[in-house]
Amino acid sequence: MLELLYLKNWNSIDGLGALIITPTRELAYQIYEVLNKVGKHHSFSAGLVIGGKDLKFEWKRIRCNILICTPGRLLQHMTENPDFSVENLQMLVLDEADLCLSLGFEDAMNDILGELPTERQTLLFSATQTRNLENLVRAGCKNPIFCSVHEFSKTVTPKTLQESYVVYSESEKINFLFSFLRHHKKKKILVFVSTCKQVKFIFDLFTHLKPGLTVMALHGNMNQLRRMAVFDEFCNKKRAVLFATNVASRGLDIPSVDWVLQLDCPEDIKTYIHRVGRTARHTSTGEALLVLTPSQEEPMVNTLKANNIPIEKIIVNARELIDIRAAVESNLSKFTGLKDEAERAFKNYIKNFCYNFMKNKKVFDVTSLDLDAYARSLGLTVTPKYSFFKRFLLKNSLKMKNDTSATDLKASGKRIKNTAKTSSLGVTEDDDSEDEFLHRSESQPVKTDGNPEDILKDYSLYINPSKEVLSKSYIANKLQKKNVELNKRVVFDDEGNLLKLNKNEEDSLEGIKPGISLVERQQFLKAQDVEDKKQNTLRIKEMHRLEKEKLKALKQKLKNKVDDEDMLEERDEDYDDDDEDDENEDSSFTNQIINDLPDPDKIYDNKSGSSSSSDSDSEEEEEQFDESSIELNKKKRKDKKEVIEEVAIKNKNRDKVNEGNSTENMEKKTKSKQNFSGKRKAKEEAKAAKKAKLSAENDFGSISCSEKESLALYLLQNT
Ligand SMILES: Nc1ncnc2c1ncn2[C@@H]1O[C@H](COP(=O)(O)OP(=O)(O)OP(=O)(O)O)[C@@H](O)[C@H]1O
């Protein structure tokens, strides 16, 4: 391209001479960067026009000799920018041409190609370029020449690339990914998944789980500046993992990628070739690992082999697999938003699976999906409701296998057990940890780098093939057998190199006793048991003592009340005697009134109509004399005294008024004296009946009230 323009003496006045179109922004950006390096001694101007950048900024600067762009943004300038002209175009370059001319870009590319001058040179580049005539005609090729660097090679992919695959169900993939990263901490790894949402979720999750190397993400929904920054950062990293969608699968030239891991099966062979092409570039070596589900294994491997792609099954040491489901669940509950991301990742994976099913029903067998198990593996305790999937099944008259999950798990469990016994194929690496993960068949001591709590936590993540519940003592025993050195702090730098602790940091760990002693722990628990029993005995004794004291106090209280009652009875009698003594005094009128008062008991009896029963049972009920009857008696006496006092005051006043009527008073006195004996008798009888009745009726609180009422009525009538 540079040569062509140079030979034609192209300069700034000639305008746009060459147009390079790429399907992704990253690729356009990379080409622009390379062009700046390669063409730095030329005077041609070059421009980069990609989506996600400032349109107005591009508007003014689009008048250049070489333009690198993505289809969408180029079409936007073609239609909106009057300054943009393609009249003099000499060369059109379509990088990843098969993709540019595919369905996804069909409309935009048709419009662009329709605007370009027909007299031009057209170059189409792709690792998977077909000789599809229709596409070549669309691109404006006349008498096309096909050039291929691998035309005579036996395999489609580079010889320096080692390709292998593993088989895991959807629900086991996340465990496998984490385990893989933990065993390849010193490598540069590119992980491909199907959708942006999956990239986002796995990136956020693994940022919390910390697999031991720098975690990065690249997908189409990211801000463009961030996309470029991530791409640059990953290019410059020696050890890191980049989770990406197919946006990073084509054309990108990332230096020294060690592994390309395809966590989700690619939709077609083309995608597979482009993805694995990110490693083993030019003369360097690289490895590619494909994760297939049990239902995908046979059809996908057959297809790959039919397309001259040499791929072998790799066997993973089951003992080295880490079960992170508990950790994923806890992170989902801890971090808000992560659960939503998991749900979105789940839905998008299913949707994408269905989409791929339409293209390749054998590899993407929708009925083999175990949605529940997959949801659990993403940390979702409840499988998200997804009406799209139901509709899809209905529309395609498909039925899910009911027992897929159980059979899958059993099958994978068996596979893990079997594979652990047999030796593995494949990867030859200097890294011990990788060998253990992919090759190891003998048990090795577990390497740890944290405190005992973390180690226990970490160890609990390991898959227990028998699916038994791991007790703490079981784990402790295991750790002891494996000679794990506890409480030894190990620190690594960003590159994974071991750092030496300074003295202060080492001192901070001095007080901690290393190791787990089960004997000591048992002794401690026994001592705790004895102490607990002692405490319990003391507690029961104290409880009994308090109960006794309470009972005693209650009895004493009852006794005191009975005594008080006796005293009051005596006082009543004294009071009556006093009445007798006062006969000679002026208060005789008071006594007369009292004696003339209606008997409240009679009134009460009349009202209640229960006198007969109370009389008959009086003796028995007297024995059951209780607190409430004492209280009632007290109240009654108090009321009576108050009334008497009132009456006495009134009488005194009346006496003063009636001083002159002394004769009449004297007569009354005499009369009262005569009646006294008889009345007293009657009074005593009434008192006894009243007492019996009160005892019998101690449940009724209306006695004193009725008594009061009658007394008050009487007083009102007499005053
Ligand atoms: N002749 C060469 N001498 C040295 N290095 C080269 C040469 N040709 C290519 N390379 C290097 O090989 C790598 C791959 O080159 P390039 O990106 O052009 O391949 P590609 O076929 O376009 O790849 P893709 O199919 O991914 O787009 C680059 O890092 C490039 O620098």
d(CA 700, CA 696): 9
* Confidence grade of residue 682 (pLDDT, cut at 50, 70, 90): confident
Please tell me if the CB atom of residue 253 comes closer than 6 angstroms to any atom of ligand 1: yes
* Confidence grade of residue 695 (pLDDT, cut at 50, 70, 90): low
Q: Express each pLDDT in 160-179 by its tens digit.
A: 999 999 999 999 999 999 99
CA 252–ligand 1 middle distance (angstroms): 10
pLDDT of residue 409: 39
Pocket mutation for ligand 1, best pick of 34, 279, 281 (most atoms within 8 Å of C-beta): 281
**Which conformational region is residue 130 in: left (phi greater than 0), alpha (psi within -120 to 50 degrees), or beta?**
beta
List of residues 6+ apart from 287 with CB closer than 8 A? 161, 162, 163, 164, 258, 259, 260, 279, 280, 427
Q: Which residue has its alpha carbon closest to ligand 1 atom 20?
A: 251
pLDDT of residue 121: 93
pLDDT of residue 45: 93
Q: Which residue has its alpha carbon closest to ligand 1 atom 12?
A: 282
Q: Which residue has its alpha carbon closest to ligand 1 atom 4?
A: 282
Q: Is the ipTM here above 0.90?
A: yes
Q: If you ran DSSP here, which 8-state letter would residue 322 be given?
A: B
CATH superfamily of the 1-140 domain? P-loop containing nucleotide triphosphate hydrolases (3.40.50.300)
Q: Which of 143-147, 178-182, 500-504, 677-681 has the highest mean pLDDT?
A: 178-182
Please give the residue that has the higher pLDDT: either 137 or 43: 43
CATH superfamily of the 161-342 domain? P-loop containing nucleotide triphosphate hydrolases (3.40.50.300)
Q: Which residue has its alpha carbon closest to ligand 1 atom 17?
A: 253
- Positive or negative, the CA dihedral 578, 581, 587, 588 is positive
CA 281–ligand 1 middle distance (angstroms): 7
Q: Is the pLDDT of residue 705 over 60?
A: no
Please give the residue that has the higher pLDDT: either 717 or 473: 473
| Weakest-pLDDT range from 61-75, 385-399, 400-414 | 400-414
Question: What does the domain layout of the chain look like in residue ranges?
Answer: 1-140, 161-342
List of residues 6+ apart from 226 with CB closer than 8 A? none
| Weakest-pLDDT range from 54-63, 418-427, 624-633 | 418-427
Provide the residue count of the chain.
719
b/e for 25-48, b at 16 or more Cβ within 10 A? Answer: bbbbbbbbeebeeebeeeebebbb
Please tell me if the CB atom of residue 158 comes closer than 6 angstroms to any atom of ligand 1: no
CA 173–ligand 1 middle distance (angstroms): 32
Query: Residue ranges of the alpha helices (H) in 163-268?
Result: 170-182, 196-209, 224-236
Please tell me if the CB atom of residue 211 comes closer than 6 angstroms to any atom of ligand 1: no
What percentage of the chain carries pLDDT values higher than 90? 41
Q: Which residue has its alpha carbon closest to ligand 1 atom 11?
A: 282
Q: Express each pLDDT in 33-67 by its tens digit.
A: 999 999 999 999 999 999 877 777 788 778 899 99
- Residues linked to residue 49 through DSSP beta bridges, in sequence order: 69
321-342 average pLDDT score: 91
Please give the residue that has the higher pLDDT: either 407 or 557: 557
What is the rounded average pLDDT for all residues in the chain?
A: 77
Pocket mutation for ligand 1, best pick of 253, 270, 285 (most atoms within 8 Å of C-beta): 253
Q: Which residue has its alpha carbon closest to ligand 1 atom 27?
A: 251
**Which conformational region is residue 571 in: left (phi greater than 0), alpha (psi within -120 to 50 degrees), or beta?**
alpha
Q: What share of the chain is helix, strand, coil (3-state, %, to 5)?
A: 55, 10, 35
Measure the N-to-C terminal CA separation of the chain; round to a whole number of Å.
133
Please tell me if the CB atom of residue 470 comes closer than 6 angstroms to any atom of ligand 1: no
For residue 252, give the ligand 1 atom closest to its CA: 26
Question: Do the domains 1-140 and 161-342 sit in the same CATH topology, yes or no?
Answer: yes
Parallel/antiparallel/unpaired status of strands 66-69 and 91-95: unpaired
E strand or H helix that includes residue 247: none
676-693 average pLDDT score: 69
Please tell me if the CB atom of residue 71 comes closer than 6 angstroms to any atom of ligand 1: no
The answer to whether 267 and 103 have CB atoms below 8 angstroms apart is no
**pTM (two decimals):** 0.60
pLDDT of residue 479: 73
Q: Express each pLDDT in 241-286 by its tens digit.
A: 999 999 999 999 999 999 999 999 999 999 999 999 999 998 899 9
Q: Is the pLDDT of residue 605 over 60?
A: no
For residue 255, give the ligand 1 atom closest to its CA: 29
* Confidence grade of residue 459 (pLDDT, cut at 50, 70, 90): very low
pLDDT of residue 636: 61
The answer to whether 690 and 629 have CB atoms below 8 angstroms apart is no
Residue 499 burial (CB count, 10 A): 9
d(CA 320, CA 430): 18
